[in-house]
């Protein structure tokens, strides 16, 4: 079984605005789990206004 991940920058097509600010991109953690030729993927994004950092997920 192999687990790999990478942090990528996802540029938004349009600016996303909420009361905490405006966002033109989001950073996302992409996870891949593979075993015997089968692969599965997952993702999550950071939430700046809750102080959730993607590095917290990879530590």
- Other C-beta atoms lying within 10 Å of the C-beta of residue 54: 16
| Stretch among 11-15, 38-42, 45-49 having the lowest mean pLDDT | 45-49
Per-residue pLDDT tens over the stretch 6-38 = 999 999 999 999 888 899 999 999 999 999 999
CATH of 2-58, one of 3.10.450.30, 3.30.390.10, 3.40.190.150, 1.10.287.610: 3.30.390.10
At residue 7, the pLDDT reads: 94
Contact between 35 and 26 (Cβ < 8 Å): no
At residue 2, the pLDDT reads: 97
Is residue 49 predicted with pLDDT exceeding 80? no
pTM: 0.74
Contact between 28 and 10 (Cβ < 8 Å): yes
Extents of the domains making up the chain: 2-58
């Amino acid at each position: 079984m192999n687990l790999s991940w990478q942090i990528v920058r996802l540029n938004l097509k349009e600016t996303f605005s909420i009361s905490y600010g405006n966002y033109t991109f989001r950073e996302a953690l992409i996870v891949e789990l593979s075993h015997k030729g089968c692969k599965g993927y997952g993702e999550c994004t950071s939430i700046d206004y809750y102080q959730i950092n993607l590095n917290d997920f990879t530590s």
